[in-house]
């Protein structure tokens, strides 16, 4: 299988909060011979930041002065209580990596426009309002745009803080990219537009932006400027940039890395059997920065893990306990959690964790609200087994204006550019043939999704009828269990963004299992109602 290499974009630093000495750590990227020693005063920095030295010296960034990414260093060196300023905007990296920088902010003008609601006829989940009754996603759940819009699209959603944050200039500026508060405006704390929700929490923002890296302690525990329990609007005002280069590329030494805390925790808890491991090993060296933050660096690029910082099912919400219904609030570590389990495993995982997101408004079933589980879906698929990584299809190599090849950071949908995404590995096929295959798989999966929705809807309607007829609670409880099972096997695929292409077999298995569970629930209720119908005759 033909493979392309991801060109590593440089990034800026988490460094100055670091300090735990690990003398044996050797994480410098294997590249060109080490540049000559630079006498820029870094030795003074290294006295406290030995991890930074291990990452930086001998790497491609060895010649860069600490002042490239950090301001007010002189004041910090004179008085360590005065923290330096770490420059976190993309332009710092864009100075040297212009092609990557420009492609990140490239706008994909979808002919159908943006703000495409999932819960409408023709959307990914036409029956969403009924099947998610009682959850804030019913107010707005739109298809995602590119990474440059990760922050603004979250803040400007009708389900986020009552619609308080809006695009400056309205629809005319909907395609504007850049800093958050050049694009959005705050309509004020008293804003609550009709048909909107007050959702939003600090944990959810950890994959939308890198601006909080130095303000957020590992897992959002107390000790940083913000934590899991912080006022969400205070956190919003501290976010001015979308996902940054430092999420995937170490700024000190250019090593591929991850910084998402719950992902690091999940990998550490199962280093030999997690979805990224090969031969019982995971290429991730975890570095602890004075107990405040952790990062994980790799010897080789693994974009499956780098993308899994966001493209996974994760819990960032408050909810309830499966065992007794008691509330789970944001002070509980379960509100920042990565299961790394696929559609057939996820319900059992959450039951063991003793957590559910919400109760359905009609049946009272305890339901899991799925996010975007691309990483878990892809794991074990045909492409995964062949060694293909996310960047090869979604960030294909392009030639820049300078004539040099680079990995595009605009993140394409392969179906929209089959030539770049597919034909490097499938040179004997035509673009038309590969697109035909992609759409065939997606059409088949969407058919199963619609059938699963139909039977879930039937289960909900039958439950309501049974409840009106006075069917015993013991029977209703059995039906709720079937609802809980059927729901997670269906909704996983409305949240996963490939319409089954990432793993067609898993999609079919779990969606047909959802249909079967719903049918079983309907039968339980109909059987219980039949004697009552006979009594009325």
Over the stretch 242-251, which tens digit does the pLDDT of each residue have? 999 999 999 9
* For residue 1, pLDDT beyond 70: no
Domain 46-96, CATH class in plain words: mainly alpha
Give the tokens for residue 261. Answer: 């805390």
Query: How sure is the predictor about 20, in pLDDT bands with cuts at 50, 70 and 90?
Result: very low
Q: Give me the pLDDT at residue 41, please.
A: 82
Give the tokens for residue 20. Answer: 């735990």
Q: At the topology level of CATH, where does 127-376 sit? A: Flavocytochrome C3; Chain A, domain 2 (1.10.1130)
- Any idea what DSSP says for residue 395? S
* For residue 16, pLDDT beyond 80: no
For the entire predicted model, the pTM comes to 0.90
Q: Give me the pLDDT at residue 414, please.
A: 93
* For residue 535, pLDDT beyond 80: no
- For residues 289 and 18, the answer to whether their CB atoms sit within 8 Å is yes
Q: What is the Rg, in whole angstroms, of the alpha carbon atoms belonging to the chain?
A: 25
Which residues on adjacent β-strands are paired with residue 256? 249
Residues 6+ positions from 112 with CB-CB distance below 8 Å: none
Distances (CA, A) of 376 to 240, 297, 307, 493, 501: 30, 21, 11, 12, 13
What average pLDDT does the chain have?
91
Q: Tell me what the mean pLDDT of segment 346-356 comes to.
A: 98
Q: Tell me what the mean pLDDT of segment 231-242 comes to.
A: 97
Task: Name the H helices within 18-90.
Answer: 42-46, 50-56, 73-78
Query: How sure is the predictor about 26, in pLDDT bands with cuts at 50, 70 and 90?
Result: very low
Task: Name the H helices within 300-430.
Answer: 303-307, 346-353, 374-378, 382-385, 390-394, 418-421
Q: Give me the pLDDT at residue 350, please.
A: 98
Q: Give me the pLDDT at residue 86, please.
A: 93
Q: Give me the pLDDT at residue 31, please.
A: 42
* For residue 241, pLDDT beyond 60: yes
Question: Looking at per-residue confidence, does 14 or 90 come out higher?
Answer: 90
Q: Give me the pLDDT at residue 534, please.
A: 65
Task: Name the H helices within 105-226.
Answer: 128-131, 150-155, 180-183
* For residue 498, pLDDT beyond 50: yes
In 3D, which of 488, 414, 493, 489 has the Cα closest to residue 446?
493
| Lowest mean pLDDT segment, chosen from 50-54, 199-203, 425-429, 528-532 | 528-532
**Domains of the chain by residue range:** 46-96, 127-376
Query: How sure is the predictor about 5, in pLDDT bands with cuts at 50, 70 and 90?
Result: very low
- Asked if 46-96 and 127-376 have one fold, the answer is no
Q: Give me the pLDDT at residue 168, please.
A: 96
Q: CA 411, CA 97: separation in Å to the nearest integer?
A: 16
Q: Tell me what the mean pLDDT of segment 450-471 comes to.
A: 97
| Lowest mean pLDDT segment, chosen from 14-23, 53-62, 99-108, 124-133 | 14-23
pLDDT in tens, 277-316: 999 999 999 999 999 999 999 999 999 999 999 999 999 9
Q: Give me the pLDDT at residue 39, please.
A: 74
Q: Give me the pLDDT at residue 401, please.
A: 87
């Amino acid at each position: 299988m033909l493979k392309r290499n991801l060109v590593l974009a440089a990034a800026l630093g988490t460094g100055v909060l670091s300090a735990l000495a690990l003398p044996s750590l050797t994480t410098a990227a294997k590249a060109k011979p080490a540049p000559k020693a630079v006498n820029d005063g870094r030795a003074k920095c290294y006295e406290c930041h030995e991890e930074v030295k291990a990452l930086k010296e001998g790497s491609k960034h060895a010649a860069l002065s600490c002042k490239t990414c950090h301001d007010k260093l002189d004041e910090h060196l004179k008085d360590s209580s005065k923290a330096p300023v770490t420059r976190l905007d993309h332009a710092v990296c864009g100075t040297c990596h212009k092609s990557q920088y420009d492609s990140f902010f490239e706008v994909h003008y979808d002919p159908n426009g943006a703000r495409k609601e999932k819960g409408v006829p023709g959307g990914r989940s036409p029956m969403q309002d009924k099947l998610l009754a009682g959850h804030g996603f019913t107010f707005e759940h739109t298809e995602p745009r590119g990474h440059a819009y990760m922050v603004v699209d979250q803040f400007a959603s009708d389900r986020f803080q009552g619609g308080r944050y809006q695009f400056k200039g309205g629809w005319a500026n909907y395609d504007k990219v850049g800093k958050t508060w050049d694009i959005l405006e705050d309509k004020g704390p008293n804003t609550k537009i009709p048909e909107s929700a007050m959702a939003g929490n600090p944990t959810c923002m950890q994959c939308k932006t890198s601006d909080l890296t130095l303000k957020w302690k590992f897992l959002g525990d107390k000790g940083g400027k913000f934590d899991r329990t912080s006022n969400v609007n205070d956190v919003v005002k501290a976010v001015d940039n979308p996902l940054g280069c430092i999420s995937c590329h170490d700024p000190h030494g250019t090593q591929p890395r991850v910084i998402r805390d719950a992902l690091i925790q999940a990998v550490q808890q199962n280093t030999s059997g997690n979805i990224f491991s090969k031969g019982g090993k995971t290429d991730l060296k975890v570095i602890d920065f004075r107990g405040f933050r952790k990062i994980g660096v790799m010897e080789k690029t693994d974009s499956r893990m780098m993308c899994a910082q966001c493209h996974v099912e994760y819990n960032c919400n408050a909810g309830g306990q499966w065992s007794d219904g008691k509330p789970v609030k944001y002070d509980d570590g379960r509100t920042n959690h990565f299961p790394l389990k696929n559609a057939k495993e996820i319900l059992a995982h959450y039951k063991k964790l003793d957590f559910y997101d919400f109760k359905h408004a009609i049946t009272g079933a305890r339901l899991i609200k799925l996010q975007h589980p691309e990483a878990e879906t892809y794991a074990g698929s045909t492409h995964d087994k062949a060694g293909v990584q996310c960047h090869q299809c979604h960030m294909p190599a392009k030639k820049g204006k300078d004539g040099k090849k680079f990995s595009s950071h605009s993140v394409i949908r392969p179906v929209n550019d089959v030539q770049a995404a597919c034909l490097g590995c499938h040179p004997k096929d035509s673009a038309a043939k590969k697109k035909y295959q992609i759409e065939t798989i997606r059409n088949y999966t969407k058919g199963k999704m619609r059938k699963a929705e139909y039977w879930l809807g039937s289960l909900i309607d039958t439950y309501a009828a049974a409840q009106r007829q006075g069917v015993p609670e013991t029977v209703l409880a059995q039906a709720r269990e079937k609802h809980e099972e059927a729901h997670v096997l269906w909704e996983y695929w409305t949240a996963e963004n490939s319409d089954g292409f990432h793993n067609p077999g898993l999609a079919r298995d779990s969606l047909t299992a959802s249909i079967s569970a719903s049918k079983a629930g309907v039968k339980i209720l109909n059987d219980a109602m039949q004697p009552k119908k006979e009594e009325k005759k």
